[in-house]
Chain A
Amino acid sequence: MISPIHIISIGLGTAFALGFLNKKSNGLAVSLMLVAIALMAAVSSSWFIKLYQGAEAIEVYTAGFKPPYSINLRMGLNEALLSSLINLAGFLGGLYMFKNLKNTGKHAIMVFLVFVMGLNVIILTRDAFNLFVFMEVVSIATAGLIILIQDGKSIQAGFKYMIATGIIAGIFLLGIIFAYYFSGSLNIDDISNSNLLAFKGGSVAVLMIIVSVVLELKPFPANGWALDVYEASDPGIAALISAASATAMYFVLFKLMPIADLQWYKIISTAGLITFVGSNLFGLKQTGARRLLGYSSIGQLGLLMTILGLKPFLGDKFEYIAITILISHYLAKAGLFWIAGLLKKDKLKDWALLRKKPLFLVLFGTFVFSLIGFPPFPSFFGKWELIMSLSQQGLYFTLAMILTGSFLEGIYLFRWLGYAIKMESNESWTFKLEWNKVIPPVLFGILVYLAGYYSSTFAENFNGLYFIALAFILIIYLLDFLPAAVKNILSILSLALVSWYMLPGLYSEDMLRFIFTLIFLVGGILTFIAGFAYKGKREGFYPVALLMYAGLAIIIRASTTLEFFFGWELMTAGSYFLIIRGKKSMAHGLSYMLFSMAGAYAILAAFGLSFAETASIQLSSLAAVGGNITVIFSLLAIGFMTKTASLGLHIWLPGAHAEAESDVSPMVSAILLKAGVFGLMILMIAMGNNPEATRVAYVLGWLGALTALVGNLAAAFQEDAKRLLAYSSISQLGYILFALAMMSHLGWMTAMVYSINHFLYKSILFLTIGAVVLKVGTHYMYKMGGLIKNMPLAFIAVLIGIIALAGVPPLSGFAGKWLFYNAVIDKHWYFQGVIVFFSGIIAFLYLFKLIYSVFLGQLKDNLRHVKDISIWFAIPIYILIIGLMIFSAKPDLVLKPLGEMISVWYPNAGLSWEGGLATAPYGYWNGTGVMITIGIMFMALLGWLLLLSSKAVKVGQFNIVYSAEAPQRPETTHVSYNIYAGYNKALGWMVAPKITEFWDTMSDWAHSLAEYGRRLYSGNGQVYTTYVLAYIIAFYLIMIF
């Protein structure tokens, strides 16, 4: 093995030797530099491999004397890993900047090389003063690299950087020299053994050392200079500062923390937390990509600092958490800066250009998701462990703040991602992509996935098989160049395979999961069939759709909370991309994502609390929770309700579902929302027996009832067909929530029947309306009309769908209503029940409006030649109708097994069966009998009418009494426009967009706060020095009190 000291010899030697080269051989100089960095990387990575295999850490003494007499370097596992990372980033960064470096000349190349070498020494050295020297080396090299582009801004930024770090370095030196005076040694280990904190002067020395390293980590608010650096320097340099320098500085703090005590750890974690939240809050108002990334980098460093501060609490989990989050940040942030450099656009809104190159869009998405901590990226596992440990230690405030910060970060990152995916852009990609600028981000993109897989292998009880699904999705992504039909077949086959693998086992073991698997996967297959109607490639659709289904399948399979959360987040990610594919979905995709993230964090926190109590992450252990049950139950319920779009958390849904593509709407409405239902059921099965949970459930019941009411009322006032159906989904999920919250046999029966029914009829309706929309080219109902003659297939489907939805006998919707009545009376929830019932009747208003405006009334001229819906839509629609009919005619086929299943949890007050006649505690119902009776009667009456009026003459469209004036607004002449105006006058106040206003206000406040707060960064470098000093004073004050 080559001694680690030769990292210095190689680096410095090459840097000095570059001086011999003349001006013409700048290319050679860059190449030599890359070779040198590669050699350094080889040294550090070979040590990493050796140490990873179990070798002992080694110490290198300079001049042959033992420390503290000489300077020693240590190469342990952590050091080897981090220096490998730094050298890798250095190499790729150098490659990325090949041209810039070459053009600037050998001096810049030397600076770059020394920069990377200096970072290595910072990692390795164990001597405080040596640390200071090399921190200065790096700091000066950074000051040099910042001005590589030599524009006015970068010079200003560099100068601010210099004055700020100048003061910081001075304080650091002062601390070190006093530490030497008090402890008699400059070796870090000796200093930490000498108990400096025992007396005042020593404490101040420790303070100075720690606080200046903290300041190097750019804590909020003493970090204005750092933001300017990120913004102004070349993105390639910013990538290195963010990825490599930050990694090294973080390690320095880690190395120096032993000189301090527990109190200091707490201070550090608080400082980190303030940075994390504050920085991400201010990030909200940013419009420039690089400055935004700066805020995000600082935020991430704050998180890492918090984690370091929590080290005494995290125990042996610390390294795993810190390294996973560090690596995610390292890979993602470098990647993002590199992409920023490629694009050469700083305005966030201009990033729409990126989607001209799908590869980079995918990379961009990957990095954003890995920063936020989505699976399968390392930070997901890190954050998971962090939250688990925090709640185990009872550090709830920290936990809440970390989640808040992450959420804020999510807001701006996803907004940005949304811009890239959806923002209007007319520009074309004019500049050439150089291979040396492409390789680094691509490589980091691949690495972040690999790192994710690797991190998962450390997680307890985590089934690595889930990565097979992800690998399959990757393959589909790689096959994206194929025509849509091929990918469609592959997708259907894959879902069929998974169903075939999962369903038989579940049927005998777990009816609940069986039913949801049917809804998720078979529903998935049916909606995929509709995909055949699309021509072309449908780029990017299949991977994300499969991602959602993979998430759903994992939720079903999950046996631990970690797996469940893994699946939940995958599903969220997949559905986010599905939703944002819609035409005007940019804002809707964002609000969906934000609600989902908030919900996911609520779930995460709840899982953490339950882990703290039961010390187990098995899903079944939720049942053992006792103490914090109200909080855990509420958090989980809120989390799941973001998916079921309950009142207050529903504002994302209408737009998201309405704007989605025709076959995506049923996926996200009929199928995706059921994930929330499944979650609620799992939750209530586990915790429902507790009286405290019952109290929360009572609230949920009211919430469900109000959701149902408001959803239906709002639906009645819509003019957009898909939006109408979306509001209808909200209210249907409100019914389900209400029924679940009853936590009785009949209540759950109702919920299950509603779930199945809603899946059936909402799929039918969304597929049909979607198909119609594809044909007529508008969502607005007042632009349609009279389509019954052109589209009989669609009409019949919608007719059946609305009869079922309305709950009119004899179709299956009535089963839900009947059960519902019995359940409500049985549970004594009369008033809630009446509200739900009332909203059920309101459903007639919008159902009539839907079918009337689209299919009945006058046919519009421009639609005179529209054909019926695509056969590929008709096939799944009619399969679903057959399912609906079977359910209607023989409800006992479904209800009996459901009853058996539910009686496991709620044995009392079920249905009793006599043939087809079901008897509930209050009423009775024979679905088959009703069907037959009504069928015979209907046929008889039809026969009678046929007999009497067989000679009816068919008349033309306009053979009616009609008089009209010239319209001001053409849509108002359509009779269905604002058809329920009177109703609106009477009851419209109930659906005034109070809730949307509420969330808008919240968002405004956050943004105003950010706008106001970020004025702290006045741009004056001198002021920043006062912040730095004030920060130190603040630390001192905290220390002495």
Chain B
Amino acid sequence: MRKLFIIIILAAFGLMLYPLIQSFSGNDHLSELATYYAQKENIEKVNSVNLVTAIVVTYRGLDTLGEVTILFLTAAIIAFFLKGPSTLRTLRPNSEIFITAARVLVPIMVMFGVYIFMNGHLSPGGGFQGGAVIASAVILMFLAFPDAPFQHKFFGFMESISGLVFVGLAALGALIGSGFLDNTILPLGTFGKLLSAGAIPVIYSFVGLKVGAELSNILNEFKSVQSDK
């Protein structure tokens, strides 16, 4: 009975979505807004090879700030939410292969993460992606070395400092540049080089650090609900 009701509702919902498909006609050319972003003179104003990055960090940087804030919030909430005495668990020891592979892979993964966010304005990728890769290195570590101490102070510090830098740079844009999150507070550099696009690589790097730190923190909180001792 209940399921029938749900089926009816979902069917109705599907019917409601149908006009959207009906009115959808694909795109033959860029929308006016996108055209603006893709115009040469405007690209040069930001000087980022990756247009998505230009939008994410500069044009719509406030969204990104919100996004960072959401991860920050989640980490903070989980931190106090899952606090409390942990329950014991017993683990079977990890296999040698796994541990050895982890030893090799973790530094590489961290490096790769850093690479991704530092090149966010030049190639696919960016702060979030890089941060996520770093966090996956951390998760691998948790699995391989469950007893290893987690430097949560370090990660907390990383998180705060990168957040502050982000906000600071953004505010600096409002103070000395033409607006909040203006990337031209730093020299725009040569199009296509690592040191270009003004503040974008700096901001994205710190976003990457922050995301990495936050996700690691979250993972640590989940982990520490159970302990081995």
The reply, when asked whether chain A contacts chain B directly with Cβ atoms under 8 A, is yes
| Chain A interface (Cβ < 8 Å from any Cβ of B) | 3, 5-6, 8-9, 12-13, 15-20, 60-65, 68-71, 104-105, 107-108, 110-111, 114, 118, 121, 125, 127, 129-130, 133-134, 136-137, 140-141, 143-144, 147, 150, 178, 181-182, 184-186, 199-205, 207, 1026, 1029-1030, 1032-1033, 1036-1037
Cβ contact within 8 Å between B168 and A137: no
Cβ contact within 8 Å between A1029 and B13: yes
- Residue B174 lies at the interface, judged by CB distance under 8 Å to chain A: yes
8 residue pairs bridging A and B, Cβ less than 8 Å apart: A5-B171, A16-B163, A19-B160, A70-B179, A108-B76, A130-B60, A204-B16, A1026-B6
Report the minimum CB–CB distance from A67 to chain B (whole Å): 10
Report the minimum CB–CB distance from B14 to chain A (whole Å): 10
Q: Which residues of A contact B146 (CB under 8 A)?
A: none
A63-B173, A63-B181, A1026-B5 known; A69-B20 Cβ under 8 A:
no
Known: A9-B170, A144-B76, A184-B31. 10 other contacts (CB 8 A): A16-B72, A16-B167, A63-B61, A71-B62, A104-B80, A114-B73, A140-B74, A181-B24, A204-B20, A1033-B9
Report the minimum CB–CB distance from A187 to chain B (whole Å): 9
Report the minimum CB–CB distance from B69 to chain A (whole Å): 5
Report the minimum CB–CB distance from A69 to chain B (whole Å): 6
How far is B31's CA from A125's CA once the two chains are assembled, in angstroms?
Answer: 23
What string of 1s and 0s marks CB contacts (under 8 Å) between B173-195 and chain A?
Answer: 11001111111100000000000
Q: Which residues of A contact B16 (CB under 8 A)?
A: 204, 207, 1032-1033, 1036
Cβ contact within 8 Å between B66 and A62: no
Cβ contact within 8 Å between B171 and A143: no
Report the minimum CB–CB distance from A207 to chain B (whole Å): 8
How far is B21's CA from A150's CA once the two chains are assembled, in angstroms?
Answer: 45
Cβ contact within 8 Å between B157 and A20: yes
Cβ contact within 8 Å between B177 and A1036: no
The residue that B179 contacts in the complex, of A64, A118, A1030, A1033, with Cβ under 8 A, is: A64
Report the minimum CB–CB distance from A123 to chain B (whole Å): 14
Report the minimum CB–CB distance from B101 to chain A (whole Å): 33
Cβ contact within 8 Å between A13 and B13: no
Q: Which residues of A contact B167 (CB under 8 A)?
A: 8-9, 12-13, 16
A6-B174, A1026-B5 known; A185-B33 Cβ under 8 A:
yes
How far is B16's CA from A1030's CA once the two chains are assembled, in angstroms?
Answer: 12
Report the minimum CB–CB distance from A60 to chain B (whole Å): 7
Cβ contact within 8 Å between A199 and B60: no
- Residue B111 lies at the interface, judged by CB distance under 8 Å to chain A: no
What string of 1s and 0s marks CB contacts (under 8 Å) between B46-86 and chain A?
Answer: 00000000000011111101110110111011011101000
Q: Which residues of A contact B32 (CB under 8 A)?
A: 184-185
Cβ contact within 8 Å between A111 and B76: yes
Cβ contact within 8 Å between B160 and A16: yes
- Residue B117 lies at the interface, judged by CB distance under 8 Å to chain A: no
Cβ contact within 8 Å between B69 and A9: no
Q: Which residues of B contact A69 (CB under 8 A)?
A: 33, 36-37, 42, 59
What string of 1s and 0s marks CB contacts (under 8 Å) between B2-36 and chain A?
Answer: 00011001101100110111111000000111001
Cβ contact within 8 Å between A70 and B168: no
Cβ contact within 8 Å between A105 and B80: yes
Cβ contact within 8 Å between A15 and B72: yes
Cβ contact within 8 Å between B67 and A133: yes
Q: Which residues of A contact B160 (CB under 8 A)?
A: 16-20
Report the minimum CB–CB distance from A802 to chain B (whole Å): 70
How far is B13's CA from A207's CA once the two chains are assembled, in angstroms?
Answer: 12
A19-B157, A144-B76, A204-B19 known; A65-B65 Cβ under 8 A:
no
Q: Which residues of A contact B77 (CB under 8 A)?
A: 107, 111, 140-141, 143-144, 147
How far is B80's CA from A53's CA once the two chains are assembled, in angstroms?
Answer: 45
Cβ contact within 8 Å between A140 and B33: no
Report the minimum CB–CB distance from B211 to chain A (whole Å): 13
Cβ contact within 8 Å between B12 and A1033: yes
Cβ contact within 8 Å between A199 and B23: yes
- Residue B225 lies at the interface, judged by CB distance under 8 Å to chain A: no
Q: Which residues of B contact A16 (CB under 8 A)?
A: 72, 159-160, 163-164, 166-167
In the complex formed, the residue of B with least CB distance to A136 is B70
How far is B199's CA from A712's CA once the two chains are assembled, in angstroms?
Answer: 89
A69-B33, A133-B66 known; A111-B12 Cβ under 8 A:
no
Cβ contact within 8 Å between A147 and B19: no
Report the minimum CB–CB distance from A36 to chain B (whole Å): 12
Report the minimum CB–CB distance from A1019 to chain B (whole Å): 15
How far is B76's CA from A104's CA once the two chains are assembled, in angstroms?
Answer: 11
Q: Which residues of B contact A105 (CB under 8 A)?
A: 79-80, 83
A69-B33, A69-B59, A133-B67 known; A64-B76 Cβ under 8 A:
no
A144-B81, A1036-B12 known; A137-B23 Cβ under 8 A:
no
Cβ contact within 8 Å between A133 and B63: yes
How far is B26's CA from A181's CA once the two chains are assembled, in angstroms?
Answer: 9
Cβ contact within 8 Å between A110 and B76: yes
In the complex formed, the residue of A with least CB distance to B173 is A63
Q: Which residues of B contact A140 (CB under 8 A)?
A: 70, 73-74, 77
Q: Which residues of A contact B83 (CB under 8 A)?
A: 105
Report the minimum CB–CB distance from B147 to chain A (whole Å): 24
- Residue B125 lies at the interface, judged by CB distance under 8 Å to chain A: no
In the complex formed, the residue of A with least CB distance to B74 is A140
Q: Which residues of B contact A107 (CB under 8 A)?
A: 76-77, 79-80
How far is B33's CA from A61's CA once the two chains are assembled, in angstroms?
Answer: 16
In the complex formed, the residue of A with least CB distance to B213 is A19
How far is B163's CA from A111's CA once the two chains are assembled, in angstroms?
Answer: 14
Q: Which residues of A contact B17 (CB under 8 A)?
A: 204
Cβ contact within 8 Å between A203 and B19: yes
Report the minimum CB–CB distance from B25 to chain A (whole Å): 10
Cβ contact within 8 Å between B9 and A1026: yes
How far is B70's CA from A147's CA once the two chains are assembled, in angstroms?
Answer: 17
Q: Which residues of B contact A9 (CB under 8 A)?
A: 167, 170-171, 174, 180
In the complex formed, the residue of B with least CB distance to A190 is B33
Q: Which residues of B contact A1026 (CB under 8 A)?
A: 5-6, 9
Report the minimum CB–CB distance from B143 to chain A (whole Å): 26
Report the minimum CB–CB distance from B177 to chain A (whole Å): 6
Q: Which residues of A contact B20 (CB under 8 A)?
A: 178, 201, 204-205
Q: Which residues of A contact B12 (CB under 8 A)?
A: 1033, 1036-1037
The residue that B168 contacts in the complex, of A13, A20, A134, A203, with Cβ under 8 A, is: A13
How far is B31's CA from A121's CA once the two chains are assembled, in angstroms?
Answer: 27
Residues B133-185 near A (CB distance < 8 A)? 156-157, 159-160, 163-164, 166-168, 170-171, 173-174, 177-184
Q: Which residues of B contact A202 (CB under 8 A)?
A: 23
In the complex formed, the residue of B with least CB distance to A1037 is B12
Q: Most B CB atoms within 10 A — which of A6, A143, A185, A204?
A: A204
The residue that A130 contacts in the complex, of B62, B72, B179, with Cβ under 8 A, is: B62
Report the minimum CB–CB distance from A292 to chain B (whole Å): 28
